[in-house]
Chains A and B, each alone.
Chain A
Amino acid sequence: MYQYNEFDKAFVKSRAAQFRDQLERWESGRLSEDDFRPLRLQNGWYVQRHAPMLRVAVPYGELSSAQLRVLARIAREFDAPEPEVYLKAADAQGRLGTTHLPTNSAHFTTRTNVQFNWIPLSKAADVMDLLASVDMHGIQTSGNCIRNISCDERAGVAPDEIADPRPFAELMRQWTTLHPEFAFLPRKFKIAVTGAAEDRAATDWHDVGLRLLRNELGELGFRVTVGGGMGRTPMVGSVLREFLPWNQIMNYIEAVVRVYNRYGRRDNKYKARIKILVKAEGQRYIDDVEDEFREIVEQDGGPHTIPPAELERVTASFVPPAVTRCESKHAARKDAPTDNPVFMRWMQRNVALHKDPALRIVTLSFKRLGQAPGDASAGQLERLADLADRFSAGEARVTHTQNVVLPWVAADNLFALWEGASQLGLASTNVGLLTDIIACPGGDFCALANARSIPIAQALAERYQDIDELDDIGEIDVHISGCINSCGHHHSGHIGVLGVDKDGKEWYQITLGGADGTVASGAAQPGKVIGPSFSAAEVPDVFEAMLRTYRELREYREQGRYERFIETLRRTGLDPFKAAANNARVKQEVSV
């Protein structure tokens, strides 16, 4: 992992002190609510439906065990509202049907950050100090600025990797942090970067998507897409460069962002994302970026060209750690029981090959009954830190699908890890399957939501508890958002669920055929709405009907497997699934 030096540490502490000062001025009335809001947002502090929400940055998804322990402590000691706040929230959500509103926990988000739902603002500055003690903060996790950069959770360990994207992500983290020119853009700005053949970071869905590749001469560079994004106008990024030399990446992003800062719309926040500018201006935007890039390089002297020595310096932070090959006490466990079907299923579903043949990449599933997708209790976080220490060189990674990966697990330790993860409830063998659902916090927490997401995810999890059935249904991406802002990535789900509000009631629109851009899903694209929205009670039946249709229509493929859901859907088109879904509607009694 990147090791913060004295400068990095002092910087985060200065930021925490600056926020404390702003908070105090706001509390004493010297800073107005309107003037304080953009400042607290750029430190990750929202005010949500019932309480403030803190979003902590996890740069490119990497967490150390020490950081996990501090997150656990924050969950335990700070993620609890005043009793009257909680009673009011429980009452309001209870009227909607929510029975469980957890406190003292953290939530992994689709942008690989960590959120807390209940910390009182009066304790905000203390929490920021605590975060700073382990080099963490909420800088630019909200607001109209360049947000935390997300990455492939298998960066540096994936066998299909062309180059490790983390050194570049770190250089970009530094360059974007408190960049004075780009703190007040027309709208938020998200960058994702990957260095593998498989796109595990949904790069095409980002304002800037970066994929490392080599050209015909073997030189390293980036494919650069600009203008992807979800929201009410889902758009996949346009390719601006098929190949940009790696050392030019920040000069180029400066051009992309400067043109956006100057010409992006500021009159309508729904039309302010860069995707709208790219779409409206098309080639003219691209020409402007290329002109600006040329000026930056030729006239300004390419101030952000990455010198090879600087890349080397940062890369040195990402050398593979020394991994305990085998826990000596458990050496006997080297011969893991191949006759244990649950363990073997976990090996197949949650364990992936590693660059180093002696190691494995393990995904811990945060999708299980009784907890919202991506939620972790204080105790789970603490014990997750222990697992990371024992089995993964003290390192964990947050995935954009709201799970956690341990990237440095010795093959000999898999059984011991499985036992530990099982005790924590983090060994569900559903990774990539139907119940590995992406869901935003939705109407239980979020002030923007039109409907609740978590109860839909829970209803589906309850309906599909039979692991053999899940295996038979196979790999499928189910994404749920509680509103059109699309934090639950419903646009990119093979099956997407979008919460909508009709006459004060929760309804759910279903989309089919979306893709995040992985090989199995096909090129990134938004799903299509299949018809009028459904009631919450209908949603599991609609899933049941569509999945029955899939199993009737799927064809047997070579390599001893059936077509995946998305493959059948692409082959047959939407109509049979639409028909099945509509037949699952509860027929309304016609009253006279």
Chain B
Amino acid sequence: MSNVPRLNVIAWHAVQGDEQPNVLKLANDADPMSLADGLGGIERIELHFPHFTDGRAYSQAYLLRRRLGFTGDLRATGDVQIDQILQIARTGFSSAVLNEGLDPADATRHLARYSGFYQRDLAGA
């Protein structure tokens, strides 16, 4: 099995104006555990990075995947930079929309940079 984490990396312009139903946008300071009873029918949850150095969404992702067992699409939005892609993939996100102007091809090559990590990835563990 490959150690390379899987993540659907999406260009910013590809999703503009793309409003879909059954998508929940969770604010950066919201408690994911408040969704414990409300995940029915939700296909995607979007977690927002107001700035790439604000790491709260990583813990939100952990709680959604691990505690609430959310199996739908977990998407990173906002200030998503190329150098955070690997981290995003390792914390349980399944998709990420890059910040404006960044190329998904540039980003995905970073997913294979390490042959392994000291921690198990939080997503599937």
Contact = CB atoms under 8 A, between A and B. Distances in A.
A184 B115 contact: no
B84 to A, nearest CB: 8
B87 A180 contact: yes
Interface in B84-125: 86-87, 90-91, 110, 113-122, 125
Given A39-B83, A295-B67, A181 B122 contact: yes
A178 B117 contact: yes
A554 interface: no
Contact of A184 (B31, B53, B110, B122): B53
A18 B62 contact: no
Contacts of B120: 303
Contact of A180 (B53, B56, B122): B122
Interface in A1-60: 7, 10-11, 14, 17-18, 22, 31, 35, 38-39
A11 B56 contact: no
B118 A184 contact: no
Interface string A292-314: 00010001100100000000000
Interface in B45-71: 52-56, 58-60, 62, 66-67
B59 A11 contact: no
A40 to B, nearest CB: 11
Contacts, number: 78
B81 interface: yes
Which of B66, B86, B118 counts the most chain A CB atoms within 10 A? B118
Interface in A218-265: 258, 261-262
A180 B67 contact: no
A14 B115 contact: yes
Given A22-B83, A39-B83, A262 B118 contact: no
Given A7-B116, A178-B117, A179-B119, A184 B52 contact: yes
A559 B102 CA distance: 72
A89 interface: no
Given A175-B118, A180-B122, A303-B125, A262 B59 contact: yes
Interface in A294-349: 295, 299-300, 303
B99 to A, nearest CB: 9
Contacts of B52: 35, 38, 184
A181 B53 contact: no
A429 interface: no
Given A295-B67, A299-B67, A183 B116 contact: no
Nearest to A173: B118
Contacts of A183: 55, 58, 87
A184 B114 contact: no
Contacts of A179: 118-119
Nearest to B114: A14
Contacts of A299: 66-67
A180 B115 contact: no
A295 B117 CA distance: 24
Contact of A261 (B31, B55, B116): B55
A266 interface: yes
Contacts of A38: 52-53
24 contacts: A10-B115, A18-B113, A35-B83, A38-B53, A144-B53, A174-B118, A175-B118, A178-B117, A180-B58, A180-B87, A180-B90, A180-B121, A181-B55, A181-B62, A184-B52, A184-B55, A185-B55, A258-B59, A258-B62, A266-B54, A295-B67, A299-B66, A299-B67, A303-B120
Given A11-B115, A11-B117, A180-B121, 6 more contacts: A7-B115, A35-B83, A38-B53, A183-B87, A184-B55, A266-B56
| 4 closest residue pairs by CB, A with B | A184-B55, A180-B90, A174-B118, A181-B58
